[in-house]
Homo-oligomer: A and B are copies of this chain.
Amino acid sequence: MLKLHEKSGDDTVALMADIGRRARAAARPLAIATTAAKNAALLAMADALLAREQDILDANAIDVSNGEESGLSASFMDRLKLNPARIRAMADGIREIAALRDPVGDVIAEWDRPNGLHIERVRTPLGVVGVIYESRPNVTADAGALCLKAGNPVILRGGSDSLNSSAAIHARLVDGLKAAGLPEDAIQLVPTTDRAAVGEMLKGLGGTLDVIIPRGGKSLVGRVQNEARVPVFAHLEGICHLYIDRSADLDMALKIAVNAKMRRTGVCGAAETLLVDRAVVSTHLVPILDALRAAGCEIHADAEVLKVFFDAKPATDADWVTEYLDAIIAVKLVDGIGGAIEHIETFSSHHTEAIIAEDAKAVERFFKEIDSAILLHNASTQFADGGEFGMGAEIGIATGKMHARGPVGVEQLTSFKYRVRGSGQVRP
């Protein structure tokens, strides 16, 4: 169905270099594009996705049929498969991005100097973004739209098994760009399944890529983090902790523990380890574990927990560093807030942690001494999400400390520059 680039090696190097050059050339027109033009493009993309729904479903059917032949797993096939509802969700997502405030040009700080200079810090696009993702075709639409809103050209490298679907979606994004008079190269899809293309992106396409965002499982993210020669916005895993302090309200602790672990077990903000203050072992521990088990959760307990909650699996050292992404939780007793902080700072992936407490001092220590992207007090870890933060669409959650940390939304995809207004000032 598609004319894909079938060759490899040197051809892919040349192909990727050309894609990089085109992206770089699109950066300037995109950076100065009006909000109206960007939004018109986004709305036209959403319309085009719906208008050409059947083409997308046809392309997806090829990927699905190939995937079935290659014996891909059921969960993989579920992510790959499109239907009219999923296409509508993509279109709706793009329309929500169109409705977001355009960050480019926002004055984020301004001040006057004694010599009369007026200084403004103004948001600008970040640059050329590379997105490397697995076989979720909808990332093509989400990532393309979010990068466009922030004025960034994007190079999309989707999973090989979804390339027909991604290409069909990408073609509709290009329809939108054309309709609004924006450069078609603003959103490019890498048209080859040759894995050398990923290697070229990780090298930065000769200084073209400003940031790479991997979307997918731990092996993909790990490879990108280890090998990329350009900055990466990502989290490798979310080993999120829920700590029940001696001052916790038991009802609240119960409700939040079940939600943090069980609402959705496969998201990065799901709690993986439950830490309970030794001071409330007799009152809080068993009811919370009972509630978790009643919700279908398997308990991996340390030796002390096992003494009072017999029906659990003994936890091993591996449990404290495992992101289950499943209905399993590791449980440990700690010596109050100090013990909780010590455990979390030792084992956390610095994504998201929550404390349930009524004692303000314990909360302040938790907030001050733990260095994770997101810390919550008396709320579920599952709020770790750009939408829940009110940022609108997000492209993921970052645990690095450079530039973007926590949810990466449209503002996090911008940089800034200084505008200085004078009236003839020279420096003495």
Contact = CB atoms under 8 A, between A and B. Distances in A.
A234 B119 CA distance: 21
Contacts of A258: 426
A378 interface: yes
Interface stretch (A8-16, A276-284, A322-330, A366-374): A366-374
A2 interface: no
A9 to B, nearest CB: 25
Interface centre among A373, A378, A417 (most CB of B within 10 A): A417
Contact of A210 (B211, B252, B367, B401): B401
**Stoichiometry, copies per complex:** 2
A309 interface: no
A426 B259 contact: yes
B368 A427 contact: no
Contacts of A255: 424, 426
Interface stretch (A78-86, A94-102, A141-149, A381-389): A381-389
A378 B424 contact: yes
B263 A402 contact: no
Contacts of A419: 367, 375, 377
Interface string A112-156: 010001010010101100000000000000000000000000000
A149 B402 CA distance: 18
Contact of A402 (B111, B211, B422): B211
A176 B367 CA distance: 28
A286 B115 CA distance: 29
B401 A371 contact: no
Contacts of A375: 417-420
A23 to B, nearest CB: 15
Contacts of A401: 124, 126-127, 210, 415
The A contact surface, by secondary structure, is mixed
A376 interface: yes
A371 B427 contact: no
A229 interface: yes
Contacts of A402: 126, 210-211, 231, 402-403, 415
A390 interface: yes
A214 to B, nearest CB: 17
Contacts of A28: 345, 369, 371
Which 4 pairs across A and B sit closest by C-beta, in order of nearness? A379-B422, A259-B426, A401-B415, A403-B403
24 contacts: A28-B345, A28-B371, A31-B371, A32-B369, A111-B390, A113-B388, A117-B388, A119-B390, A122-B367, A249-B424, A252-B424, A256-B424, A373-B418, A375-B418, A378-B423, A378-B424, A379-B420, A379-B421, A379-B423, A379-B425, A380-B425, A382-B426, A382-B427, A405-B415
